[in-house]
Amino acid sequence: MTLSEEVQTFGMAPSSPLEKKKQEVEELKAMEQMTFDFDEEEDTEEKKTIFSVYGLKNDGKTAICYGIPEPGEKVLVFSFDHKSSRPKDLPFIKPAELNIKVYDALKYIDKSTADIYQATSEVTYKYILSIMEQSVEKFNPAWIVFDGTEVLSSLMEQVMRLRNNLRPYQGISNLSVWKERKQYIENIHDRAVQTASKGVIYTMYTEKDTVIDRDGQTIRMKDIPKWIGSVMRETDVVIRADATFENDKRIYWAYVEGSKIQDLYPDGKFNVTGKRFRDVVVPCV
């Protein structure tokens, strides 16, 4: 089947509304018959760690990501900017001998027309889920990285529009459909958590947040992560990437902010110039 044929078939509903309704009824009946046991339902699974690394362009976000895994671990990367392969060859990353596989998440995106862009966004959603599913047996990653989550959010918006018969850029009167975009992002997140043995890492750009005092006066503007979906709620460790110039040399910084795992990743400012994040932070614990 060619790509154009796949685009036409992906996301298609059952052949008739009646068949779709019958399917939904059968699924509901099956759910109603489920039983639960108090002794078996306790959540005892080891939790995965979720990192969010944010900053401006060229502030070293991806390099920080590759500095999180322990030496020798496997890392599955979905690149949304075509730039995720370069940092894995940095001289301070290579000695860790990570097994990093980078997949171009935009491989099937075609923006030649609005309709094709929307259809290939659906293909991309299927592609990401398929690669993660296959990686369980073929790669068994310790970590999964989504490098460029703002683009992921835009693609899931087009999936939402396609499945609700909305044009790529038309206005939306029923604002509830936006919840469907969040649903697809959360589905990808849940699959990633299930697939990776250690955790999931996101990179994102910054946006401005206004700090207001009790009198309603603006005190200052601060940089915050450009969150998507439920990533903010799920994140355990937030890292702000930053770069400065000192004596004509570029210095890279990692600010650990609001860590929920202080015994491993304490809050603080860390100089990660030419060093892996783990090698700098963990010795400080």
Q: Given this model, what pLDDT does residue 209 score?
A: 58
pTM (2 d.p.): 0.82
Q: What is the pLDDT of residue 20?
A: 79
Partner residues linked to 145 by β-bridges:
77, 201
Task: Given CATH 3.40.1710, say whether it is the number of domain 50-284.
Answer: no
Phi, psi of 150 (to 5 degrees): -65, -40
Percent of the chain with pLDDT over 90: 65
Phi and psi (nearest 5°) for 174? -90, 95
| CA pseudo-torsion sign 21, 25, 31, 32 | positive
Q: Where are the domains of the chain?
A: 50-284
Please tell me the distance from the alpha carbon of residue 66 to that of residue 239, in angstroms, as a whole number. 13
How many other CB atoms are found less than 10 A from the CB of residue 224?
15
- The helix (run of H) or strand (run of E) holding residue 7 is helix 3-9
pLDDT of residue 7: 47
Residue 18 pLDDT: 78
pLDDT on residue 29: 83
Average pLDDT over residues 84-103: 95
Mean of pLDDT values over 118-136 = 97
Higher-scoring residue by pLDDT: 159, 282: 159
Indicate the average pLDDT of the chain. 87
Angle, alpha carbons 84-274-237 (nearest 5°): 65
Q: Name the more confident of 111 and 34.
A: 111
